[in-house]
Amino acid sequence: MNNAPNLSPNELLNDELTFDLVQTAHGDWIIPALNGLHFGTNDIPPSPPGESFAQSVLKRHFSHRLHKEDCLYVIVGSDSGQLIHYIQHYDQSNQPLPRGSRWVFIEPAPIARILSAQPDISRQLDDYVHLITPDQWPETARLLLLDDYFRIGGVVFERSLAALDHTTPVYLELAGELDAELSSRRYITTANLGKLPFIKAQLGNIPNFFAHL
Q: Into how many domains does the chain fold?
A: 1
Does the residue 144 lie in any domain?
yes
25 in a domain, yes or no? no
User: 147-201 pLDDT, tens per residue?
Assistant: 999 999 999 999 999 999 987 889 999 999 999 999 999 988 877 765 555 555 5
Structural domain harbouring 83: 9-14+64-203
Q: Model-level pTM? A: 0.81
Residue 53 maps to a domain: no
Degrees to nearest 5, angle at CA 18 with 171 and 22 = 105
| Confidence category of residue 11, pLDDT binned at 50, 70, 90 | very low
Tell me, yes or no, whether 127 lies in a domain: yes
Q: Does residue 125 lie in a domain region?
A: yes
Distance CA 3, CA 138 (A): 6
Asked, for residue 148, whether it belongs to a domain, the answer is yes
Taking only the tens place, the pLDDT of each residue in 31-80 is 999 998 899 876 555 556 667 899 999 999 999 999 999 999 999 999 99
Q: Which long-range contacts (CB under 8 A, 24 or more apart) does 210-213 make?
A: 211/125, 211/126, 211/127, 211/129, 211/130, 211/131, 212/116, 212/125, 213/130, 213/132, 213/136, 213/139, 213/140
